[in-house]
Structure 1
Amino acid sequence: MKDLTISIVNYNSKEHILKCIESIYAHGEGIDIDVYVVDNNSTDGSVDDIKKNYPDVKLIMNNENRGFGDANNQVLKRFNSRYCLITNPDIIILSGTLQELVKFMDANKDAGAVGCKVLNPDRSLQYSCRRYPSFIMSISRGLLIDSIFPNNKIIKKYLMMDSEHDKVMPVEWLTGCCLMVRHETIKEVGTFDKNFFMYFEDVDICRRINKNWKVYYLPDVQMIHGYQSNSRRIGNLKHKLIHLKSAIYFFKKHGLFTNNTDVLQEN
Structure 2
Amino acid sequence: MKKVLTIIVSYNFEPWLTKCLDSLLQSTYPTDIFVIDNASSDHTVARIQQDYPQVILRQSDKNLGFGRANNLGFDYAITNRYDVVFLVNQDAWVQSSCLQHLMEEDYGPNVGIVSPMHYDGTGEQLDQGFAGYIKAGQANLSSFPVPFVNAAFWLIPVPVLKQVGLFAPIFYHYGEDSDYANRIKYHGMHLIVSRRAIAYHDRQNRNNVSRAQFFQREYIYFLTEYANVNHSFFSAFAYGVVAPIKKAFLRSSSSHAGLLPYLAIAFKVLAQTAAVYHTRKRNA
Measured on the aligned residues, the alpha-carbon RMSD in Å equals 2.4
Distance in 2, Cα, partners of 1:197 & 1:253: 14
Alignment partner of 1:100: what SS? Answer: helix
The runs of 5 or more residues in structure 1 that have no matched partner are 131-155, 261-267
Please state if 1:55 is matched with 2:53: yes
Matches within 5 A, 1:96-111: 96-104=97-105, 108-111=108-111
Q: Which of 203, 217, 221 is equivalent to 1:227? A: 203
* Counterparts of residues 12-91 of structure 1 (less than 5 Å): 12-27=12-27, 29-31=28-30, 33-79=31-77, 80-91=81-92
Query: 1:161/1:229 Cα in 2 relative to 1: closer, same or farther (>3 Å)?
Result: farther
The code of the aligned residue for 1:112 comes to G
Pair 240,11 (structure 1): closer, same or farther in 2 beyond 3 Å: farther
With over 3 angstroms needed to count, the CA separation of the structure-2 counterparts of 1:84 and 1:15, relative to structure 1, is: same
| CA distance in structure 1 between the partners assigned to 2:60 and 2:92 by the alignment | 22
Q: Which has the higher strand share?
A: 1
Change (3 A) 1:129 1:108: farther
Structure 2 unaligned regions, length at least 5: 229-234, 241-284
- Deviates most, 47-56 or 205-214: 205-214
Letter in structure 1 aligned against 2:198: Q
Q: Secondary structure at the match of 1:210?
A: helix
Q: Which has the larger radius of gyration?
A: 2
* 1:195-234 residue CA offsets vs partner (Å, 9 max, x unmatched): 111112111111211232211011122111102786x433
Would the alpha carbon gap of residues 3 and 109 (structure 1) be closer, same or farther in structure 2, given more than 3 Å must change?
farther
Query: Is structure 2 residue 163 aligned with structure 1 residue 165?
Result: no
Deviation for aligned residue 1:62: 0.8
Separation (CA, whole Å) in 2 of partners of 1:22 and 1:63:
26
Q: Give distance in 1, aligned partners of 2:3 and 2:42.
A: 32
CA deviation vs aligned residue, 1:62-106 (integer Å, no higher than 9, x gap)? 11111111110111122031110111011111021111101126x
What aligned pairs does 1:151-230 form with structure 2 within 5 A after superposition? Answer: 159-160=133-134, 162=136, 164-167=138-141, 168-211=143-186, 212-227=188-203
Higher helix share: 2
User: What's the TM-score, normalizing by structure 1?
Assistant: 0.77
Whether 1:92 and 2:90 are equivalent positions in the alignment is: no
How far residue 242 of structure 1 moved from its aligned partner, in angstroms, is 3.9
Q: Percent identity?
A: 23
